[in-house]
Amino acid sequence: MKLLPDPEMMRQLRGRSLLAPDDLTKAEFLFLVHLAKDLRAAKRENREVQLLSGRNIALIFEKVSTRTRSAFEVGAHDQGAHVTYFGPGDSHLGFGESAKDAARVLGRMFDGIEHRGFRHDVVATLAQYAGVPVWNGLSDSWHPTQMLADVLTMKDHVDKKVSELTVCFLGDTQNNTAQSLLVTGALLGMDVRLIGPASRAPEESVRHRAHRLAALSGGSVSVSDDTGLVRGADILYTDVWVSMGETTDKWQERITQMIPYQINKALVVATNNPAVKVMHCLPALHDVATELGRQMHAAYGVTALEITDDVFESPASLVFDQAENRLHTIKALMVATVTNPCVSS
Ligand code: CP
Ligand code: NVA
């Protein structure tokens, strides 16, 4: 069996959970991104080696998913592992069984557990008691697996070191993706700017965490309501204005607050960077091809929300590469953290 790159790093990551982006050091984060790139090349060249044969992975989704579920299922299958999927309401977790009890049951049967849920303390409790790696597939606070894919995508498309990147997130800067981007950028030494209404600024504790990390990495972080800060950006990034788990009555207020932060042609021009790239974790409300998009149009007269269709469909848009990279990075995470005889000492 071909030895994986950097066996020492593989040993260091074995058995580890990922709840928030900064559970990893900068070196570990970039190692996983590099491993994902290798696994992507191996799959494309039809020379992938299965390192998870005989392993069992639990996928618990208390919210819906297209990309994250697909990435865990296809990634596990490509690597020879078996998955068990629990959709919203499919297990006792959260209603008749505590996270602490469920963790101790699932940890005796599975080699790794993915969890997508609401309050972050649920996934944290699973990780504390499962005895096997637990991966946060999105909580109300964090979306760390998304960040691995995003950094791989940035490295693929911008010819700069990650520590030289200027990344601007626009819109709901308090959501899981925005907070994750702030902390990831700070960890990796980027210049990361969160731009949106002050009423939706990231939690104070998250801002402090990002400032502490940036002080160590040499990066810089800022949170502002000034769209002028997009000048010089390498990347513009956005996400939905109302996240899963939030009530639909938030839409009207959010549209009024967030419309100045929509990624549209004028905002792209305001970067003054003809090579600027645009990212979105998806799903995106960029047209009226969805039921939600049509409801927003009927209620508020808008045909696009956080990103306009022309920008979404433009050559600057990296959104589908980003989506594909969920597979390769989640696969790398599983390969590195699930105990594996191929890399045992
Ligand atoms: N970006 C993301 O997490 O997508 P899904 O909700 O489809 O998993
Ligand atoms: N902020 C979004 C991300 C979806 C991938 C949500 O939580 O719904």
pLDDT one-digit tens code per residue, 191-215:
999 999 999 999 999 999 999 999 9
Counting ligand 1 atoms within 8 A of each CB, the residue from 282, 320, 333 with the most, and so the one to mutate, is: 282
85, containing H or E segment: strand 82-86
- Segments in the chain forming alpha helices (H): 7-13, 26-44, 67-78, 99-109, 120-130, 144-157, 176-188, 204-217, 251-258, 265-270, 291-300, 309-312, 319-337
Instruction: Judge if pTM exceeds 0.95.
Output: yes
| Domain 159-274+277-315 in this protein, CATH class | alpha beta
Q: How many angstroms separate the alpha carbon of residue 310 from the centre of ligand 2?
A: 22
What is the reported pLDDT for 94?
A: 87
User: What is the second-level CATH architecture of the domain 7-142+325-338?
Assistant: 3-Layer(aba) Sandwich (3.40)
**Ligand 1, atom nearest to 64 Cα:** 6
Active site residue 82: no
Q: Above 90 in pLDDT, residue 41?
A: yes
Give yes or no for residue 239 CB within 6 A of ligand 2.
yes
Query: For the chain, what percentages of helix, strand and coil (3-state, to nearest 5) are there?
Result: 50, 15, 35
What does the radius of gyration of the chain's CA atoms come to, in whole angstroms?
20
Selecting among 79, 146, 174, 262, the annotated active-site residue is 146
Amino acid code (one letter) for 121: D
Which ligand places an atom closest to the C-alpha of 69? Answer: 1
Q: Above 50 in pLDDT, residue 306?
A: yes
Q: How many angstroms separate the alpha carbon of residue 31 from the centre of ligand 1?
A: 23
Residue nearest to atom 1 of ligand 2 (CA): 243
pLDDT in tens, 78-132: 999 999 999 999 999 988 999 999 999 999 999 999 999 999 999 999 999 999 9
What strands lie across the sheet with 220-224, from one edge to the other? 220-224, 191-195, 166-170, 235-238, 277-280
**Ligand 1, atom nearest to 69 Cα:** 8
On whether the CB atoms of residues 333 and 71 are closer than 8 A, the answer is no
User: Alpha-carbon dihedral of residues 234, 190, 12, 70, nearest 10 degrees?
Assistant: -40
Which ligand places an atom closest to the C-alpha of 61? Answer: 1
Which ligand places an atom closest to the C-alpha of 65? Answer: 1
pLDDT in tens, 21-35: 999 999 999 999 999
Q: Above 80 in pLDDT, residue 345?
A: no
Q: Of all residues in the chain, what percent carry a pLDDT higher than 70?
A: 97
Q: For residue 195, what are the β-bridge partners? A: 170, 224
Listed by start position, the domains of the chain span 7-142+325-338, 159-274+277-315
Give yes or no for residue 340 CB within 6 A of ligand 2.
no
How far apart (Å, rounded) are the C-alpha atoms in residues 182 and 172? 12
Active site residue 342: no
Q: 4 pLDDT band (50/70/90 cuts)?
A: low
